[in-house]
Every structure is written in C-alpha cells, then in structure tokens.
Chains A and B, each alone.
Chain A
Amino acid sequence: MLYALLCYNDEAAVWSWTAEQEAAVMGRLGEVRERLERQGKLGPSLRLLPTTAATTLRKSDPPLVIDGPFAETKEQLLGFYILDVADLDEALAVAKDLGEANPGGAYEIRPLALYNGGAALAAAAGA
C-alpha cells in the first residue's frame, strides 16, 4: 500500500530555527530516511519553501492568480504534482493546462526547498 505523509508545523517557528537546530533536526531525519530508503519503504521526500513564496491558482473561469498559499477550509488536499519548470510563469501555465482538464478547486504553486528522490518503490511498480 502506498501512503503519503503530509508534514504540518508552525512555519514561523520552524523557519526561525538557528543553523544548529536546523542541522540537528536534519541530521536525525537523515538517519531515519536512509534506513527507510534501504528498506525500500520511502520514496520521494521533499521540503517546501515558506508559504510566503507560494502563489495560488483558483481554477475558476477565467483562472484567478492569488498571492500566497491556499487558505480556504472547505476544500481538502486531494493530491499533488512535482514540476520541473523554468519559473513561476511556466508553472502557472502548467497549472492552467491541468486545470482545464480538471476544473474546480485550486492549485497552490509552492517552490521546493529540498527534493530527495528516495528508493524505487515495489508497490509503485505494481500500481
């Protein structure tokens, strides 16, 4: 079975960590991650840049671009994509394409701080 693990915390506090705190947490996480990757249990893991770097595309007609993260509470997180594009404009173009294929709701476009490819997952091959 494949699961996604979504990470929540107080962003203002986490992005206020000192370099030492940051290194300590990343060090501990790295050990766990490596063990799980060796066991073939951990696929891609990634860290997002702060919500201040986010842009949201409302999939209305026409689509509406809003600064900042997705902040509504009546919709739920249903999935996500990882894009490799040149800049925000290209990311928005991709989002608009996807939005045309699947209207309704919104995409939050959030740049990544970190991307680890992780292990090749057996369940993903069969999925």
Chain B
Amino acid sequence: MTDPAWINAAITAARPQAVGALLRYFRDLDTAEEAFQDACLRALKAWPQNGPPRDPAAWLIMVGRNAALDGVRKRARLTELPPEEMLSDLGDAEAGAADRVDQADYRDDVLRLLFICCHPDLPATQQIALALRIVSGLSVRQIARAFLVGEAAMEQRITRAKRIVGAGDAAFETPGPAERAERVAAVLAMLYLVFNEGYSAAGDPARTGLSGEAIRLARLLLRLYPAEPEVMGLLALMLVQHARTPARFDAEGEIVLLEDQDRRLWDRRMIAEGLALIDKAMRHRRPGAYQVQAAIAALHARAATPADTDWAQIDALYAGLERLTPSPIVTLNRAVAVSKVRGPEAALEMIRPLGERLAGYFHFHGLTGALNLELGRATEARAAFDRAIALAGSAAEAAHIRQHLDRLAADHAPPDRAAPDRPPPAAGKSAPGAD
C-alpha cells in the first residue's frame, strides 16, 4: 500500500483538507501552501518506510504546521524554546495528530479554501485557475496548458489572484448558517465553471481532466454537507454529463450531438451514481437550478434510444427552470423540448422574442436554422446557419453547421425525411441540458 501511485492518490485526496487547515492556522495562502509542500516531501520519504498513516490529512497538517513554525522561528532567530507540543518530531506527529486536530473545523476549512477562490473581484477564469492551483494542487504548467496560455502568463495571473484574495480576511471568521449557505452556493457555481472548462474541451486531456476534478471536489463538498440537495444536484448533473464523454466526439474530433451518440459508450457507473443522487435530492423537496438540470440530464440518460426520450417531462422541467432562473438560454433549451412535443412551429414562436438578446449566440441561430429546416423553409434555414457559422466557438461547432449548409446546398427541394433534424447543441457553458 506504499507504492508511489497510492501515495500520490492519498496526498491528492488529503490536499483540500490539509491546505484548508494550514490556511486557518497561518492565515496566509503562500505560507499554507509552502507548509503543505514541505509536509508532502516528508511524506514521500516517511510513508514508504513506515507505511501510510492512519489519517493522511491529519499527518500532513501536523507535519506541515511544525515545518512552517520551524521556518518562522529560524527566520525570526527566536532564542526562547518553542512550546512543548510544537517540538514533536515526525514519529509523534502521526500518533497524536488525529486527536489534536479538531475534526469539527475540517468542514469549514475546506469550504473556506474553496470559497476564497470565488472572490467577486476575480473574473471566472481566474477563480478557476486559483482553485485548480490551491485546492486541486495542479502545477502552474498544467493549468497554463489547460487554458492554452504560456506558463509565465499563468504564473502572473495566479499571483495577482492570490494578492486580491489575500487582501481581505473576512473569510476567516467561522461562518454563520446563512453565510455558510451563501458560501456553498458560490462554491457550487465555481465548481460548475471548472467542470465546464473541461466539458467544452474536445478530447484535450489537459482540459478534460478538469471535469473529473470538479466531480471529485463536489463529492468532497457533499461528504462535508451530506444533506444539501443542491450539492447533490450539481454532483449528479456533472456525473450524468461527464458519463457521455466517450460518445461526445467522433474520431475526427467533431461534436456528436446527443441524438446521434452511441449510448452504449455512456459510462453507466457515473449515470447510476448521478441517478442515486437525484433520488436523494428529490426527497428534500427543496428544488434548485442544479437539481432541475440534473433531472433533465437524467431523463436523457434513462432513454435507451433518442425516441424513448420523455420530452414532455423535459419541457415541464425546463418550465420549472425558467421560473427558478429566468434566462433566454433556458428558454432556448426549452424550445428544443417544445419542438419535439408540439412541433417546430411552436418552438420557433417561443424563441422568436429572444432574437435580440441572443443575436450573438451561436446556438440560437443553430436552433433557428434547424427548426426552419424541419419546416422545409430552406432560405430561412440557410440564413440562420450562415449566422451560426460566423459565431461558432470551435472547429467542431462550425463543422456541424457546415454539414447542414452542405446538405441544403445539395438538396434543392426541402428535405423529405420525416424525422426531425438534430436539436441544437444546447449544452455548452450555460445550457447543459440537451447536448
């Protein structure tokens, strides 16, 4: 049990708790991170010899704390003897650590560590970068690769983010229930950003790994807050979406839409976990946006074939989501379900009022084109697809629209296939339900 892979996994798993506790202790991010690094180096030496500690997080916290205190003392040239309990060597640290570290503080430590990354002055990409650096422990190089920027630029960005975060220390007060709920909500939003950063990446392992990381952190958060239905909802949503990963891109890296995906490739284990979490969340009867989105994703996951999809139920859930979080994107997604239940004309009518607000949105024009195509209105369809292709955010998106345009060019007559055309790739960053 002391092989390097196990040690790495144990350190990764313990990191949020350990850095969070060290941050509470030192109230300084850099000191906490350095202390943790120190502890990890010692773990790599000590664990293969002595076997893994009973509680790796507690071990890393105690050893990191002692190492940092030693450093502080040396720098300050302190001459008086340090307190007795700080003199413990590595051997003692493990034996007593679990008792000395207050288990009850763990929850707030991890939440605080995640929450400081959600600083309102930080743009979303910097929140993500900071979380990946300090919570997940990814190297600056790994994060730079995921964001397709140079290492030096990313280093600078993270340093700046840390400075902004370090300026205020209100987060160190033990939060009350209302504030804790706010923190949880902010952290959930940030975790979903991390997830989508990975989800929107086509097959690039440096980025797709971020989705798995968001799932891991959400599981951690749910272990700390086992009765929060929105935490269950977000974790379920991410699991069910992530389960489709093996089917979402073809061999050429092009998007395969939900309707066309080989459902045998979906990860059944992730779907099972997601469904179990939705069941749990529903029992609380406290609906929230993540729960509803998870329920929509689950209806797709439960359908053995696209034809088995319960579109009426999806329409109803989107109506609920419109009430919880009104947004033109949600309405756009609902229109996909409406087109299946009440036909393309009704769907077009629903999204027509959105034209102004979504004029610069790829999926709006994609769906407008697809609905017109379904209605046999080739001219309108072509105009919408032309606008969509100009707004495509990735080569895969553009290629997908190109297929439509090529088909339109090939068929002078409107397509006579009875089957409705594809739904829009409604997933993407803000609209995860239907891809």
Q: Which of B9, B14, B275, B276 has the most CB of A within 10 A?
A: B276
Complex Cα distance, B209 from A29, in Å, reads 25
On whether the beta carbons of A10 and B13 are closer than 8 Å, the reply is yes
Give chain B residues whose Cβ lies under 8 Å from the Cβ of A67.
Answer: 226-227, 280
Flag if A113 contacts B9 (CB, 8 Å). Answer: no
B272, B277, B280, B283: most-surrounded residue (chain A CB, <10 A)? B280
Among A50, A65, A87, A88, the residue within 8 A (CB) of B219 is: A50
**What's the least CB distance linking B6 to chain A, in Å?**
7
Known A-B contacts A53-B276, A55-B280; A113 and B269 likewise in contact (beta carbons under 8 Å): yes
Within the assembled complex, what's the spacing in Å between the Cα atoms of A49 and B280?
A: 14
Q: Determine the distance from Cα of A51 to Cα of B224 in the docked complex, in whole angstroms.
A: 12
B312 within 8 A of A: no
**B1-46 at interface with A (beta carbon < 8 Å):** 5-6, 9-10, 12-14
Contact B226 A53 (CB under 8 A): no
Which A residues touch B273, using CB under 8 A?
Answer: 49-50, 53, 111, 113
| Residue A39, interface by CB 8 Å | no
CA distance A73 to B155 in the complex (A): 46
User: With A and B bound together, what is the CA distance between A74 and B272 in angstroms?
Assistant: 31
Q: Does A114 contact B (CB under 8 A)?
A: yes
- The chain B residue with its CB closest to the CB of A9 is B1
Flag whether B201 is at the interface (Cβ < 8 A).
no
Per the bound structure, the CA–CA distance linking A13 and B8 in Å amounts to: 9
Q: For the complex, what is the distance from the CA of A20 to the CA of B24, rounded to whole Å?
A: 35
Given contacts A12-B220, A52-B235, contact A88 B279 (CB under 8 A): yes
- Assess whether A114 is in contact with B10, with CB atoms less than 8 Å apart: no
Question: What's the nearest-Cβ distance from chain A to residue B380, in Å?
Answer: 44
Q: Which residues of A contact B (CB under 8 A)?
A: 10, 12-17, 21, 49-53, 55, 65-68, 87-89, 111-114
**Other 18 A-B pairs with CB < 8 A, given A12-B223, A67-B227, A88-B279:** A10-B13, A13-B9, A16-B13, A21-B5, A49-B272, A52-B222, A53-B277, A53-B280, A65-B283, A67-B226, A67-B280, A68-B226, A88-B283, A89-B279, A111-B272, A111-B273, A111-B276, A113-B273
What are 14 A-B interface contacts by the 8 Å CB criterion? A13-B9, A15-B216, A16-B9, A49-B272, A49-B276, A52-B226, A55-B280, A65-B283, A67-B226, A67-B227, A67-B280, A88-B283, A89-B279, A113-B272
